[in-house]
Each structure stands twice: as structure tokens, then as C-alpha cells.
Amino acid sequence: MNYEFPLVIFTVLTQFAVGLALFAAFKSLSCAGSTAKECEDISAWRSKDWFAAFLLAAFGLGASMFHLAQPLRAMEALGNLSVSWLSREGLIFGLFTVLALVNALRESRCLAVLAALCGLAGIVAQGMTYAPAAMPAVSNGVPMLIFMLTALALGSSAGQVNGSHDFSTAFRVSSASLVAVLLIVPCLWTSGGTVMQASAALWMQSWMFWAGLGLTTLAFIVSLRAGAEAAMPCLLLVLGGVALTRIIVFGGVVHTAVNLGMPY
């Protein structure tokens, strides 16, 4: 089975970066009601959030090139903006990476909001890119929903690591929703066509799928018992869970679509 590791790394890291950007932008807007000292402390951590978002997005874009047949000609993938969601995805995340770096060096509220909106647009583009008509199991809003919940879960856990903000409620809602969606989707596929049924079977028979769900669920439970101080353990758990399930999201669906009618 081809697990599409470049796409796994690209989507997980860029969605992590978008999640950081969303909550860093929230911190910027909430700083308006803080004292000068509190705002200065928050600003220092926001810069670290933006720098982390820049690094994650940059590494993610770098990893995506290895999915191309000719990585050295990656810029040519941007040549079909009028018709290709893949081209739009690359352009939007390139712009997002630049905006994250600018915010890391000199943040402003307007730039922070612009970067967050750009990141959301990138996730929309990803959801459209990885929902081709040739793969009926994901030719819908499922990828976009999974990607958005991933960004919120990773961003909310990372965004409260310094303790300046409590995003535990956002983390619990997003992580629980992510687990629920990943459980419900393959169950719905079992009543679909041949490709959808094969995708469902591959997901449910994969130890990585169940291990990923287990780690994400454990992160949710830890957040309930320990609160905001468990941000780092929750982040590591949900990051591992997302990586494992993402391998199956790509490898499983692509594998069953490509090999339909062929010997396994």
C-alpha cells in the first residue's frame, strides 16, 4: 500500500500551522483588554507561535514537493490557478508561510487576522484538492471537515502551552468532534458502492486507524482531568493520533480506488 507520506506530512504540518495562526490571532485581538505588562508577555509568546507556524508551514511545503514526479519543477504546479485546486493550495500556503514569518518578526493585529484568514482559505483549498470525483468516498466535504478539526485540535493545544490563555474547551470540542467524524465516516461508507465499502474495510482493519483514534481520545480524557496545564501532553498525543489516522485517510482511500478490480 502507498501511504502517501509526503501528503501526510504536508497536510498535518500546514494544518498545525493554521491552527497556531488562528489562536495566535485570537491572542492578538484579546490583548486589547489586557494591561501593558500582560500584553507584553503575551506578545512574546505570540511571536513564538508565529515562528513555529512559519517553520511548520515551510517544512510542510518542502515535504509536498516529494509528492511531485519532478520536485525541482514544483513552481510549475502553480501554473493552473484558474482551474486547479492544487495550484491554488500551493499559492495560498506559500502566502500564508510568508505572512507567518512577517508576524513572527513584527506582528500587527491586521496582519495576524489576515494570516489566519489565509490559513483558513488554505484548508478550504486542501479540502477541495483531496476530494476528487474519482474517489467517491472523499468526493465531498469529509476531507475539509477532518482538516479543519485537525487544525483546531492542534492549534488549541499548542496555543495554551505557555498558559497565557485557556483553550481547553476548544481543544475538547475539536478533538472529540474529530474522533466522532473519523468513526462515523467509515460506518456510512459501508452502505455505499464498492470503492466506499473497500475504503471502510481498510480503515476499520488498520491498527494505525484505531491507534490514532485511541491517542486522540486519550488526549481528550487527559484534558478533562488535568485542564490547561496538560497542554503539552495533549498536543503530543493528538499530534501522534492525527499522524496515524492521516496515513489511513490518504493511503486507505487512494489504495482502494486505484486497485479496484485488481488483485491485492
Of all residues in the chain, what percent carry a pLDDT higher than 90?
50
pLDDT band at 251 (very low <50, low <70, confident <90, very high): confident
pTM: 0.89
CA pair distance 20, 51, nearest whole angstrom: 10
Mean pLDDT confidence for 121-147:
88
Of all residues in the chain, what percent carry a pLDDT higher than 70?
83
pLDDT for the residue 260: 42
Mean pLDDT confidence for 49-71:
85
Q: Are 104 and 43 in contact (CB under 8 A)?
A: no
pLDDT for the residue 183: 95
pLDDT for the residue 125: 94
- The count of residues in the chain is 264
List pLDDT tens digits, range 205-242.
999 999 999 999 999 999 998 766 788 999 999 999 99
**Region class of 192: left (phi > 0), else alpha (psi between -120 and 50), else beta:** beta
Q: For 49, list phi and psi in degrees, rounded to 5.
A: -60, -45
Quickly list H helices, the chain: 5-30, 36-64, 85-105, 109-129, 142-159, 168-189, 194-204, 207-226, 231-258
Q: Are 112 and 28 in contact (CB under 8 A)?
A: yes
pLDDT for the residue 44: 61
> In whole angstroms, how far apart are CA 214 and each of 168, 182, 187, 219, 222?
19, 12, 17, 9, 12
> In whole angstroms, how far apart are CA 133 and each of 130, 138, 139, 161?
10, 8, 5, 40
**Average pLDDT over the chain, rounded to whole?**
84
**Domain spans in the chain, listed from the N-terminal domain onward:** 1-129, 132-264
Helices 168-189 and 194-204 cross at an angle (nearest 10°) of 130
pLDDT above 60: residue 33: no
130/21: higher pLDDT: 21
pLDDT for the residue 199: 85
pLDDT above 70: residue 55: yes
pLDDT band at 80 (very low <50, low <70, confident <90, very high): confident
